[in-house]
Structure 1
Amino acid sequence: MNPSDPIRPPLRRAAILLAKASITGAAVREMEELAQRAQSAMAGRFAAVVHAFSEQGSPSLREALDALAAGDAADEIAIVPLLLPMEPGFRTWITGAVQRWMRDAQAPRRPGVTLCMPPGDTLAVDALVHGLLQSTTVPIDAPAAAPSAGSVIPPQKRRVLVCQGGPCNHAGAALVWGHLRNEQKRLDLRNTGDGMMSARTSCLGPCNLAPVVQVFPEGTWYGGVDEAGIDRIVESHLLRGEPVAELAYPQVPGKQTLR
């Protein structure tokens, strides 16, 4: 090193523990606690350790990257995929998602991003499996008698599906879902007009039109939906039965691009 070179501060690192999906609060808390334990164990080496989900669940990978970049918490962000087996498509999706974030990020300073991959000899995974095989087991009891209580068939005629596959989640589907649920409660959409119910789904298919929403019984496809788009779908399609042509994509042969 040249004595005249300026002294550079040590590299600040952060990590994102990336899981596939979560639809329960308990699973989200489990990820939060895992991130907290990892940060405590890696104190001094990582400035922050957070969690994210590639499909259903919040925060999404994009939201976690945005938060770390906006908070100026790190010069480098390491993504740790929590998936066994490591599907080649998952690694490809992570790479594409990070590249889209790099292209679109609004943060004034963008950290570098790396991907942590399991070692080729998988010794760490082997040790985990061996430890579990030697751990205390929990018996599974015989099943109880089937309950006799019945279930009510929902009378609502409309269903709104909000895709939370990887590309849709990356494009802001969690915000779209949250806004739809808020409007559903505020306007009592379950009991207004034909009535509606909503559900998050895994990948619906038209990934390049993300975020994707589908409304039944018509099966209308909407792409590029944001909170304002949800407002229009609610006001026109759900309350008046008139699909929003500007946001709808027809079911025709051939690929369509996001308008």
Structure 2
Amino acid sequence: MSIWFETLVQGRCFEWYLPERWATLNSEQIETVRTRAQKAICPLKPADFSTRAPKGFLFNAKRTDAGRTLPPYYLVYFLLVDLLGFTNLGQFEKVAWSVPVEYDGRPFLVEHRKFGLGVFAANVPEDEEAAAEIVRLIHKATKAAQPYFDWRAEQAAKASQLNVVNRSPDLFERLNFYLDLYDDRQQEAEGRKDERIVNHLSDMSYTVAFPVSIGVQTGPPIGAQKGPPLKDGATVEERSLRCARRREGGARPETRAAQSILIPACGGISCGS
């Protein structure tokens, strides 16, 4: 069964999607995947002591627009740090992890900050074109490294680094929302069960309507009936509630609640001929 799971790597928590069919790789196959990913990401490389960067670059680098289209942060982390061995500068204020890279002789940062993953540069917007190329290379390498990600997920599932993500609170909150909505409609129906809307058309005829649904009714009154009592034995209230059910949707609980309250409480009404 496909599930989401979280795994801890270097003290950080990452949420992954675990496929139904896991890949099993040996060391030789892992090296093959690493070589393919390395070729795919070239000429992007880790920054080193020979990389020239302006003073204060680590703290003053600005987010690029191109960096907003990177793959999910956990895939980028496992690609750069775990598989390809890029240096992770670690955590500091509002930064979960930071990987300095070099492209075309210029320094860049691939960082997961407070507002998400991105590519950061010293000169924005001058470096936007280079940042877009970095994003393209990372996407290309991520596809090449997919077997490694599946293998990594398998290893985490076999070890104690696996936690099933419980998403039921969101569903439970949604259920409670609709239950509260149902209770509100039911209380309104109870409070308005004796309400009638009578519209005199002439001295000999009139219409009667029963506001059973929440909100202000637009258009003609629902369930309005002219003339003598209905010959099929149904009262005006029952016919109006049928109309309300068609308009509101027969499966809606608030409509059924209004019907169960109004029909027992109302008797037949004879109208003038």
**Shorter-chain TM-score above 0.5:** no
Larger CA Rg, structure 1 vs 2: 2
What's the TM-score, normalizing by structure 2?
0.18
What's the TM-score, normalizing by structure 1?
0.19
